[in-house]
A and B are shown apart, each in its own frame.
Chain A
Amino acid sequence: MCAALVAEPAEAAPVVRSAAPDPAVRVHGLNHYYGEGEARNQVLFGNSIEIPAGQLVVMTGPSGAGKTTLLTLIGALRSAHEGKIGILGRDLSRLGAGELVEVRREIGFIFQMHNLFDALSAYENVKMAAQLGDAAPGEMRQRCTGILERLGLGHRIDYKPRFLSGGERQRVAIGRALVNHPRLVLADEPTAALDKDSTMNVINLLKQQTVEHGAAVMMVTHDHRIIDSADRLVHMVDGHIMSDVVLHDALRICEFLRPIELFKALTPRQLTDVAEHMTKRHFAAGETIIREGESGEEFFLISDGEVEVIRADHEIARMRPGDFFGEVALISGEPRNATIVAEGEVDTYVLGKTDFQTALATSQSFRDQLYRVYFMRH
């Protein structure tokens, strides 16, 4: 389908990577222990994970797997024994006590126990968090009542916890966590006390935070209704991250790849593998994606938008969603044979060289298909 468009091979060109913002969470090589001396027990084993902004991550696993410990470390509530933790672009190990407190203000915590002050009304409990933010008093009032209404508690704003049901109390606690639109939300079984409607309401609210405010959400839960809404699923067992799957992207990529000739030959399993190793990348209008003459490290598949193919300074072709490029350099090792520039806003799925080669190795038919395309292009 996309094969006919590209004519000649290009020289090697260095890959241009688009600048991506700091991931909300960047954890590397995290080890953590409980106890001292002989009774020392390791609970986290070399955990590494990166969570970009706007992603809703659900953590599952049996109890004692270390999920909560990981959450407390990421939330700067405990200090890491070994390993690096970066939150919202800041290296936690470098921060003093005062700076840590500031970091906490950027994080919304939703605990299992609501821990509301029984002396304060729902509104006041939420305001305790709101008044740490930078809103003007009038706006603060708006925010607090707004989020409570959004959670279905508009008629309970001035009630003290004593007069609220268990589910209502938990919703107040969620309101407290989200009132300042934090850039990172850490939640531990937030919907355990909620009925079906409230749960969906809360999940939608969290999704809204990711979409509208770019919040990253890390949630520990066993609730299946939520898992369906997650963007990414991390499964931990005995302190190890056993799997870390970007759900929707993988699913979507699969859906996307399936009709493409090149990938038709892959088994669903292989397709999922490839899809899982693809990362989404966005290019602004006019941005150069690959440059003629640079060496090739990546394979691109257009999911949205159009690109111009330019060789020797004039456009020779255009590509549309479903088209792919960059495979030549990866196969032959030659430099890029064209410059590809984004026409408008372009979304692509990118497969790194190693993964690409792995895909080639695992699927004969994929290789055959690819070579066919390659040779056709030549």
Chain B
Amino acid sequence: MKVPLAWRILTYDKRRTALALIGIFMAILLVFVELGFFYAVPRGGLLLYDNMKFDLLLASSEYEYQAQPGAFPLGRLDSVRSSPDVQQATPIYFGFAKWKSGEGGMWPDVFLIGFDPASHVFIPDSINRQTGVLERADMVLVDSATRPMFGPLDAGRVVEIGDRKVTIGGQYVLGTGFMGLGVVLASTANFARLFPQRGLNIVNLAAIQLKPGADPDPAAENLRKAVGPDLQVFTRKALEAHETAYWTTRTSVGIIFGSGLLISFVVGIMIVYQIVSTQVGRQLPQFATLKAIGYPDRSLAGTVSAMSLLIVVAGFVPALGAALGLYSVIRQETLLPVAMSEMRLLAVFAAAVAMALISALLSVGGLRRAAPADVF
């Protein structure tokens, strides 16, 4: 086996290597964190959809994103239901109202979702178990992630929402995402009572379940033809793409986390470059001697690359571990769904390798200064 020169150089100079490892650990960790945020934001925007059962989603053609869905008449669902692929079409109602029972006399805005509990259109057990609760008059369920500002969320507590007094029938577990600081689930009947001026004729979304075995894409096409141009039909994939595109292009999210990512990337390159170029510079005569002995330039470049990669890989593993830990802390503190995915892991690893190679490239220039003739 050949002498592991890169490994030896790094392990001999423990102090510098340790510093570089800490630095690269932090840079990669930050890349993980920024990337996590970058993807968490649209993921947060998809929170509700991720917890709804549907193959296709029907919305107004003015649907912007989940918080701005537009609206369409309930009657339009008839043509939907008569479509051969459609098994069930559940209307969903969204509304905002003042929660007049907040802490300190505050009236925070609460986001209300009206639906037919019997449809079981939501996935969480905590919702489906309490169907009976929802169907009682003037009784609602409150999301457990609703902020403390709303006051206690105990079952039985009577609160004033809009102009109506309702009783909290219980809590459910889903998450408020970007819907608001507090979210309430109500049956369609209760929703109508809460929004008397609106009634149930104006629907925001319709969750469509297809017959078993039906392929979403062609079914969507058929449905589009059936419903006309003022409505749009989303497959799950299309919906995800749409929401993600909204968050990354229409808001500052992309720029904020993207710039953080970029700077972390550059910082990472600099940290690796710092140690590799220092080791090269410190041992220029030795490298020049290797050249004199008969090592081709590319072999020395290989040693430099090996040093860069070793630092990066050694920093990557603890950074990954720390990122997982940090993700769970972030999830708890910010309620943003920051999570690890295979793709992201690989992407960060690829970025780390890129950091290494770019630093190596920059350091190789220093190697050129190792002139074997000058060693004499």
Q: Which residues of A contact B291 (CB under 8 A)?
A: 104
Chain B 283-304, CB-CB to A under 8 Å as 1, else 0, gives 1011011111111100000000
Complex Cα distance, B291 from A127, in Å, reads: 15
B225 CB within 8 Å of chain A: no
Q: Which residues of A contact B8 (CB under 8 A)?
A: 117, 119-120, 124
Complex Cα distance, B3 from A119, in Å, reads: 11
A105 CB within 8 Å of chain B: yes
Complex Cα distance, B13 from A75, in Å, reads: 32
Given contacts A109-B289, A117-B283, 8 further A-B contacts (CB under 8 A): A77-B376, A101-B294, A103-B294, A104-B291, A115-B285, A116-B286, A132-B293, A188-B376
Chain B 270-290, CB-CB to A under 8 Å as 1, else 0, gives 000000000000010110111
Residue of A nearest to B9 (CB): A119
In the complex, the answer to whether A113 meets B292 with C-beta atoms within 8 Å is: no
B49-101 interface (Cβ within 8 A of A): none
**15 CB < 8 A contacts A-B:** A72-B373, A77-B373, A104-B292, A106-B294, A111-B292, A113-B375, A115-B285, A117-B5, A119-B9, A120-B3, A120-B5, A128-B3, A128-B5, A128-B290, A160-B12
Q: Which residues of A contact B292 (CB under 8 A)?
A: 75, 77, 104, 109, 111
Complex Cα distance, B116 from A169, in Å, reads: 86
In the complex, the answer to whether B295 meets A132 with C-beta atoms within 8 Å is: yes
Contact of B375 among A101, A111, A132 (CB under 8 A): A111
Q: Which residues of A contact B373 (CB under 8 A)?
A: 72, 77-78
Complex Cα distance, B4 from A119, in Å, reads: 10
In the complex, the answer to whether B375 meets A115 with C-beta atoms within 8 Å is: yes
Residue of B nearest to A129 (CB): B293
Complex Cα distance, B331 from A65, in Å, reads: 74
Chain A 156-190, CB-CB to B under 8 Å as 1, else 0, gives 00001000000000000000100000000000100
In the complex, the answer to whether A111 meets B289 with C-beta atoms within 8 Å is: yes
Q: Beyond A109-B289, A109-B293, is A117–B9 a contact (Cβ under 8 Å)?
A: yes
Q: Which residues of A contact B3 (CB under 8 A)?
A: 120, 124, 127-128, 131
A123 to chain B, nearest CB (A): 9
B1 CB within 8 Å of chain A: yes
Complex Cα distance, B295 from A137, in Å, reads: 18
A369 to chain B, nearest CB (A): 49
Q: Which residues of B contact A71 (CB under 8 A)?
A: 376
Q: Beyond A113-B285, A120-B8, A124-B3, is A98–B296 a contact (Cβ under 8 Å)?
A: yes
Q: Beyond A78-B373, A117-B286, is A101–B296 a contact (Cβ under 8 Å)?
A: yes
Q: Which residues of A contact B5 (CB under 8 A)?
A: 117, 119-120, 128
B2 CB within 8 Å of chain A: yes
Q: Which residues of B contact A82 (CB under 8 A)?
A: none
Complex Cα distance, B342 from A286, in Å, reads: 81
Q: Which residues of B contact A188 (CB under 8 A)?
A: 376
Q: Which residues of B contact A106 (CB under 8 A)?
A: 294
Q: Which residues of B contact A131 (CB under 8 A)?
A: 2-3
Q: Which residues of B contact A118 (CB under 8 A)?
A: 12
Complex Cα distance, B290 from A116, in Å, reads: 10
Most buried by A among B11, B285, B294, B375: B294
A138 to chain B, nearest CB (A): 12
In the complex, the answer to whether B293 meets A105 with C-beta atoms within 8 Å is: yes
B372 CB within 8 Å of chain A: yes
Size category of the binding interface on chain A: 20 to 34
Most buried by A among B288, B289, B295, B373: B289
- How many inter-chain contacts with C-beta < 8 Å in the A-B complex? 74
Size category of the binding interface on chain B: 20 to 34
A223 CB within 8 Å of chain B: no
Q: Which residues of A contact B293 (CB under 8 A)?
A: 104-105, 109, 128-129, 132, 176
B302 to chain A, nearest CB (A): 13
A68 CB within 8 Å of chain B: yes
Q: Which residues of A contact B294 (CB under 8 A)?
A: 101-107, 132
Complex Cα distance, B147 from A349, in Å, reads: 108
Most buried by B among A113, A115, A116, A132: A115
Q: Footprint of A on B, CB under 8 Å?
A: 1-3, 5, 8-9, 11-13, 283, 285-286, 288-296, 372-373, 375-376
In the complex, the answer to whether A77 meets B13 with C-beta atoms within 8 Å is: no
B11 to chain A, nearest CB (A): 7
B9 to chain A, nearest CB (A): 5
Complex Cα distance, B369 from A211, in Å, reads: 38
B286 to chain A, nearest CB (A): 5
Complex Cα distance, B295 from A98, in Å, reads: 10
Complex Cα distance, B43 from A3, in Å, reads: 111
Complex Cα distance, B285 from A334, in Å, reads: 62
Q: Beyond A105-B294, A109-B293, A128-B293, is A115–B288 a contact (Cβ under 8 Å)?
A: yes
Complex Cα distance, B289 from A255, in Å, reads: 43
Residue of B nearest to A162 (CB): B12
Q: Which residues of B contact A98 (CB under 8 A)?
A: 296
Most buried by B among A72, A124, A127, A176: A72
A196 to chain B, nearest CB (A): 25
Complex Cα distance, B375 from A115, in Å, reads: 9
Complex Cα distance, B293 from A103, in Å, reads: 9
Chain A 296-323, CB-CB to B under 8 Å as 1, else 0, gives 0000000000000000000000000000
A121-145 interface (Cβ within 8 A of B): 124, 127-129, 131-132, 137
Q: Which residues of B contact A72 (CB under 8 A)?
A: 373, 376
Complex Cα distance, B13 from A124, in Å, reads: 17
B343 to chain A, nearest CB (A): 38
Q: Beyond A72-B376, A101-B294, A101-B295, is A115–B289 a contact (Cβ under 8 Å)?
A: yes
Q: Which residues of B contact A102 (CB under 8 A)?
A: 294
Task: For the complex of A and B, list the 9 residue pairs with the smallest distance between their C-beta atoms, beginning with the closest.
Answer: A119-B12, A105-B294, A104-B294, A77-B373, A119-B8, A115-B289, A78-B373, A115-B285, A77-B372
Residue of A nearest to B11 (CB): A119
In the complex, the answer to whether B296 meets A68 with C-beta atoms within 8 Å is: no
Q: Which residues of A contact B285 (CB under 8 A)?
A: 113, 115
Complex Cα distance, B199 from A370, in Å, reads: 140
Complex Cα distance, B293 from A68, in Å, reads: 17
Q: Which residues of B contact A116 (CB under 8 A)?
A: 286
Complex Cα distance, B376 from A129, in Å, reads: 17
Chain A 73-116, CB-CB to B under 8 Å as 1, else 0, gives 00101100000000000000000001001111111010111011
